[in-house]
Structure 1
Amino acid sequence: MLGSLSSKIHDEERQGEAYQPGVAGKKEFRKKFYIESYGCQMNFSDSEIVASILNENGFGATANYTEADLVLLNTCSIREKAEQTVRNRLHIFRQVKVSRPGMLIGVLGCMAERLKEKFLEEEKLVDLVVGPDAYRTLPGLVEEAESGQKAVNVLLSRDETYADISPVRLDSNGVTAFVSIMRGCNNMCSFCVVPFTRGRERSRDAGSIVRECIDLFERGYREVTLLGQNVDSYYWMDETAGQVVTFALLLEKVALIDPLLRVRFSTSHPKDITDEVLLTMQRYENICRYIHLPVQSGSTRILQLMNRTYTREWYRAKVDRILSVLPDCGLSTDIITGFCTETEEDHQDTMSLMQYARYDMSYMFFYSERPGTLAARRYADDVPEEVKKRRLDEVVRLQNRLSLEKNKEDVGKTFVVLIEGDSKKSAADWRGRSTQNKVIVFPKTGSTRQKGDYVPVKIEDCTGATLLGRIVE
């Protein structure tokens, strides 16, 4: 759920969203596909890759699964709720298939390996299962499934980055886009299933990343978010130039495309974000002053059990360093309550660290044990659910207060806002974000500005989640 500014309780998975027919809808296709995505922004980015592969093989997008020849769910394994949601959706699709026996149903992404036998054989809910490194084989798997076979490819890769595939941005606002720069993760956080579902870390060719960003800018996009499980560990050896491209250098290369192209990134692991990155952000005004810095817990003891490789004191020092280099930087985080053996003292450590960092926004969850993780193998999930939820409620209420306090401090200030489109509540208002990633809503009245323009907006009021202002010329 990257980029959201709500401080309400978030599920770790995003709610399913289906692609709307867009650019690809202008071509004639012999068959139609429907894709619904869950989880982190990486999954949504992957769905754009899948859409491109399917377009090249005669499938066009539809927003109506009842007319689709191929229905796909791109899945998330982070929380148990996501799995139940996906299973419920698959039952709905199977009902449609009764009247349309030629329709194929497939599961993509992070659930593929762990649940392939259940979905294919035990429950007979799907016709094909495809892991996140096997999307190039999707056309062949569809042919297998059409012949009546159960088609499966969940093999992980050490080098697949899909660098040569131009994503089809079917549900884009035409202003902002996500650009994947790496895949997989080498961090073995004990609560996390990602290293097992997405494989080892590998970085994408820097040249292909820059070319994709140039293409987006030339097509009218004005903001890119460089996306990875841990962007700060990006590493690419440019053999031609004899140069190692670090994340800081990649940031600079993208920032230099044009001053009108805003650059964001997500997500950073606290142990890997460097002074080189911070100083690059400081040098280029179009690199946004916003860092998502997941802490997970404010207790050093719990951080050690989580295998986060830093202490409470180290994390505080990192926050201090960020704000010393970038005093106006917005900060957000991830927090898990009720991890194995967490005590009230541990919980209070988290609350006090939140107050120290004064996050603008947090993604907040109670711990959900995932099969196959290090925590599931090593530790008892021994905090009662009612305690987890009570602690989560306390964290949420604290974050709501912090978010409102931080937003009130912005009243009276003027920010340069990139107009992303209409406000969700009224077509009479524009919606955009500041460089600190705060949502700003302001009236269209008296202005000829359009979506994709930069405008100065003076903040006059706020809620805990949104700044309210007016254009000042």
Structure 2
Amino acid sequence: MNHFYIETYGCRMNICDSEVIVAILSKAGMKYVNSMSDADVIILNSCSVREDGHNKIYERLTEIRKNANLASKVIVVTGCFASLLTDKLFKQYDFVNIVVNPNCYRQLPDLLQQIRVGKDHLLKSLMDSDEMYGDILPQRVIEDRTTAAINVMKGCNQCCSYCIEPVTRGHEHCRDVESVLKECDDIVSLGYREITLVGHIIDKYHSIDSKSGKNIDFAELLKIVAERCPEQRIKFLSSHPLFFDERIAQIILSHPNIMRVVHLPVQSGANKVLRRMDRGYTKEQFVELIGRLRRVIPDLTIITDVMVGFCGESHEEFEETVDLVKSLQFDDINVFCFSMRSRTKAFKLYADDVDEEEKIKRAQTVKDLRDSIKYQKNKRFLGQRIGVIVESKDNLGRYYGRDLFHHSVYFTSDIPLAINDKVIALVKEVSCQGLIGNVYSI
């Protein structure tokens, strides 16, 4: 039982967690493999943010049950969803051996040893721990070769009415600056071109420098990381409109290696919906924030999230969201249909009363508007030369990369390129998906 495989679902934070699991099990003498068939242990690292995250795990477990060879292996469920599970899962899927939530990954080697000696159906879950795994260097076998992510904080104290994150991840806990910088140095040594700092509301990061005793907020951390790693692009996610400090924008502006992109989820353009969501700001306050950011960095890429079909969302309230999108002209939008989560305030107080077909229709309306805006914005790059880092190559020989503003660029080259090469691409076509061209110079 020495070979293990991990399948990761959900957000970037879960990818970071999977890399931590790889490091823990590798230190215990196990070996990571990249296919289920080669593994003795199969780990499903789950997500709980939306219902489809739960469904994907159940669907995967059902697929495994139908395959006698896979079902005979040691099956482990980890991740946020594991925080919500009880031993009832073992009755429904009796071939699952272990369930472990994100605070207990250090115990995985011991739990697997218990399986080796005949124990079964082990559930290990610890809620609201300050465990950040800051002393563990991820092995980076799952992430791509260009971007490496660092979890700098976890949990959330905001308790938006629809969100299960405070239950599954607990209250906010932050890593110390020293452990973050140690991981940055490791990422640089491995040749990555980009570092992504990750936190649920990363603007609320805070720590105390052990040497100086100085309070470190996120703006200061961003500055420290950018100056520590001057040859790497630095990105961060996600922010919250209530806590995004304009100092962060100033730090972005004053450091050429920090990507000109922020992720600021608005969720809705209707104040009544925002109140039911417990977001803590109004549409007008959000519009004012975007205006201030664009005055500091006029060409800043702004990505947002829109949730359609939240409890009680009327047609008029949805149209307010559409009007907001038209007004603010976001550079990209992640669009989600509301999914009711048990153990949230919304579950206790509201009804999931927007028809599913209507949710899908509203989501498509926002997606169509998003794509139209992106296409019109991308046309301004026609004929321009864009600095790009090569991230991948498809089967047709077309390369893909992103620029400093997080624009996707697809391009060809007469000269073979390597992953992480820096090139200048000449933009000849555009679509809502990105910029299209060929290499102008290397």
TM-score between both structures, scaled by the size of structure 1 = 0.90
Aligned to 2:319: 348
Per mean C-alpha deviation after superposition, the further-off stretch among 307-316 and 234-243 is 234-243
2:132, 2:153 within 8 Å by CA — same for their partners in 1?
Answer: yes
Q: Distance in 2 between matches of 1:142 and 1:465?
A: 44
Q: Deviation per CA, 1:136-195, whole angstroms, max 9, x where unpaired?
A: 111111122332232111102432111011112113332211111111111111111111
List aligned pairs for 1:125-274, cutoff 5 A: 125-146=95-116, 147-274=118-245
Q: Deviation per CA, 1:49-75, whole angstroms, max 9, x where unpaired?
A: 001111111211122213321111011
Q: Distance in 2 between matches of 1:134 and 1:236?
A: 23
How much has 1:117 moved relative to structure 2? 2.4
- Of 94, 102, 125 in structure 2, the residue corresponding to residue 124 of structure 1 is 94
List aligned pairs for 1:27-426, cutoff 5 A: 31-96=2-67, 98-99=68-69, 103-146=73-116, 147-422=118-393, 424=394, 426=396
C-alpha RMSD of matched pairs (Å): 1.6
How much has 1:31 moved relative to structure 2? 0.9
Aligned to 1:441: 410
1:174, 1:221 within 8 Å by CA — same for their partners in 2?
Answer: yes
1:142, 1:151 within 8 Å by CA — same for their partners in 2?
Answer: no
Q: Deviation per CA, 1:195-252, whole angstroms, max 9, x where unpaired?
A: 1001111111111111211221122111111011111110001132111111111111
Unmatched runs of 5 consecutive residues or more in structure 1? 1-29
Report the residue type matching 1:120 in the other structure.
Answer: F
Greater length-normalized contact order (CA 8 Å, ≥ 6 residues apart): 1
Q: Distance in 2 between matches of 1:448 and 1:214?
A: 29
Q: Distance in 1 between matches of 2:363 and 2:254?
A: 38
Report the residue type matching 1:50 in the other structure.
Answer: I
Per mean C-alpha deviation after superposition, the further-off stretch among 412-421 and 127-136 is 412-421
Partner SS, residue 457 of structure 1: strand
Q: Distance in 1 between matches of 2:62 and 2:439?
A: 49
Partner SS, residue 365 of structure 1: strand
Instruction: Report sequence identity in percent.
Output: 35
1:414, 1:457 within 8 Å by CA — same for their partners in 2?
Answer: yes
How much has 1:266 moved relative to structure 2? 0.7
TM-score between both structures, scaled by the size of structure 2 = 0.96
Q: Deviation per CA, 1:385-424, whole angstroms, max 9, x where unpaired?
A: 12212211211111111111111122233222111121x3
Report the residue type matching 1:259 in the other structure.
Answer: P
Report the residue type matching 1:265 in the other structure.
Answer: F
Report the residue type matching 1:337 in the other structure.
Answer: V
1:119, 1:125 within 8 Å by CA — same for their partners in 2?
Answer: no
Q: Distance in 2 between matches of 1:99 and 1:358?
A: 51
Per mean C-alpha deviation after superposition, the further-off stretch among 249-258 and 309-318 is 249-258
- Of 444, 452, 457 in structure 1, the residue corresponding to residue 420 of structure 2 is 452
Report the residue type matching 1:464 in the other structure.
Answer: C
Partner SS, residue 102 of structure 2: coil
Per mean C-alpha deviation after superposition, the further-off stretch among 104-113 and 79-88 is 79-88
How much has 1:118 moved relative to structure 2? 2.6
1:39/1:99 CA distance change after superposition, 3 Å: closer
Partner SS, residue 360 of structure 2: helix
Partner SS, residue 36 of structure 1: strand
Q: Distance in 2 between matches of 1:377 and 1:83?
A: 20
Report the residue type matching 2:114 in the other structure.
Answer: E
1:177, 1:224 within 8 Å by CA — same for their partners in 2?
Answer: yes
Q: Deviation per CA, 1:311-362, whole angstroms, max 9, x where unpaired?
A: 0000001111111111111111111111011111110110111112211211
- Of 418, 425, 430 in structure 2, the residue corresponding to residue 462 of structure 1 is 430
1:91, 1:125 within 8 Å by CA — same for their partners in 2?
Answer: no
1:318/1:58 CA distance change after superposition, 3 Å: same
Partner SS, residue 129 of structure 1: strand
Partner SS, residue 228 of structure 2: coil
Report the residue type matching 2:138 in the other structure.
Answer: P
Q: Distance in 2 between matches of 1:296 and 1:372?
A: 20
Partner SS, residue 353 of structure 2: coil
1:203/1:100 CA distance change after superposition, 3 Å: closer
Q: Distance in 2 between matches of 1:82 and 1:202?
A: 24
Q: Distance in 2 between matches of 1:344 and 1:249?
A: 43
Report the residue type matching 1:224 in the other structure.
Answer: I
